[in-house]
Structures are given as structure tokens and as C-alpha cells.
Amino acid sequence: MSLLLQNRSIGDIAVVACAGRIIEGPDATALDSYVKELLPVQPHVLLDFRAVPFIDSAGIGILVRLLTRARAAHGDLKLCAVSSHIRDVLRSTKLHTILKAYDTEVDAIAAFCAPRDSAEAPASLDIDIVCVDPSLDVLAYLRELLRQAGYGVTTTTNVADARILIRATRPKVVLAGLEMCALLTSEVSDHCRAVELPADFSTEDAGEAARQVLVQVGAAI
């Protein structure tokens, strides 16, 4: 069976689910092309290997080259849910020091947000606020509004991915509408406060809506 690839975004990270063997030929080439197309827009890439039983030397070479490309684009590439066999291959070749593999999506996403341990390390994602809203237009406005105000921001359209982001990034604020705030109550802890997005945010005067959000977020932080 050919390698199947499916991408979804969790905040600013492209999570690529891989299913099948990654071997020299069309499969390795497909992975290379797929990730290279993502990098100009999403340079932070997480490869989910839970359905990858085998990778050959050519496949490992592809991963190393993609890692180099991701870092050149000011991002990074990580792996998660790697089989014990592939983990052993990475260890035996000592590539586990650069191709970082994590047990879960949450662990890997948290690593993307961890402070750099050296000047040579790739830039990390510094997240203060997680915004959750079903509208991509609202999220685009919130993301740029809050970034211009100096905050580190990531966004998502759904509660499931919001839970992952909150656990991984430990933000100071979760900004969402009333219903989504209620669904995320269990994720909000002492280090994180929920700020409710006004129900009429998308239809209110843009300037006034922005002012209200900045005041609420500033008070919460």
C-alpha cells in the first residue's frame, strides 16, 4: 500500500499523519514533496508516525533533509508516536539527537514551545494566548491584533485541538466564546485564565471590539 499523508493544523504547527512504509521510491518522494510544500507557510512540522511500521535508509535521509529545510525556514521538524523499531534505528544511528521523537502529540507540541537550549537551536514558539473560534476570519483578526500588542498567540477552530494546545503550551490566557469557554473549563488551571470573547465580536465595530479584547486580555495577564 502506498504511503498515505494527511495534514491538519494545531495552532501554528502542521501535524502530518503518515500511514504506511516510508521507503526509497515514490513513498519517500511523496513525503518529501508533501512537507516541502507546507514549509513556506507552516515551517513547524510534526510527523505523526503511529501508522508507520518501517522506514529505510532513504526515508531517514528524507527526514534529515526535511529537518534542515524546516530550520532554514525558521521552523523545526519533530516526530511523535514512533514505533520501538524506528526509535531503535534512530538511537543506533545516533540521529535521535537531531530527529527528536516524542510519545504523544502533546509532548511534541510542548517541545516546539520550549525555550531554546542554545543559540544554535531552532526558534521556539512563545505562546501567551490560545484563541478558539469556529471562524477563520475572526481568528485571523485576533491573531494579528494580539501579536501587534506584543503577545505570543496561537489559534484553533475546535475544542479538541484547543485542549491539546492548552496542555502543551500552558498559555496565560484562553480566549474563546461562551460555549467553547464552558467546554474548556477542565483545561483552565491556576496558570491560565479564560477570557470570554463577546458574542457580537464579529459584527461589532472592529476598533471597539479590539479595544474590549485588549482590555480583557491585559487584565487577565
Q: Give the chain's domains with CATH numbers.
A: 4-113 (3.30.750.24), 129-220 (3.40.50.2300)
- Rounded distance between C-alpha atoms, residue 149 and residue 46, angstroms: 28
Segment 9-43, tens digit of pLDDT: 999 999 999 999 999 899 989 999 999 999 999 99
Segment 154-174, tens digit of pLDDT: 999 999 999 999 989 889 999
Strand-strand pairing, 4-10 and 13-19: antiparallel
| Among 86, 80, 75, residue whose Cα is nearest residue 113 | 75
Q: Is the pLDDT of residue 212 over 80?
A: yes
75-100: b (≥16 Cβ within 10 Å) or e = bbbbbbbbbeebeebbeeeebbeebb
The packing angle between helices 136-148 and 206-220, to 10°, is 60
> Would you call 130 helix, strand, or coil by DSSP?
strand
Percent of the chain with pLDDT over 90: 57
Q: Is the pLDDT of residue 4 over 70?
A: yes
pLDDT on residue 200: 81
- Neighbouring CB atoms inside 10 A of 41's CB total 10
Q: Is the pLDDT of residue 120 over 70?
A: no
- Rounded distance between C-alpha atoms, residue 172 and residue 209, angstroms: 21
pTM of the model: 0.82
pLDDT on residue 208: 82
Residues whose CB falls within 8 Å of the CB of residue 8, separated by 6 or more in sequence, listed in order: 14, 15, 17, 161
Mean pLDDT of 104-128: 78
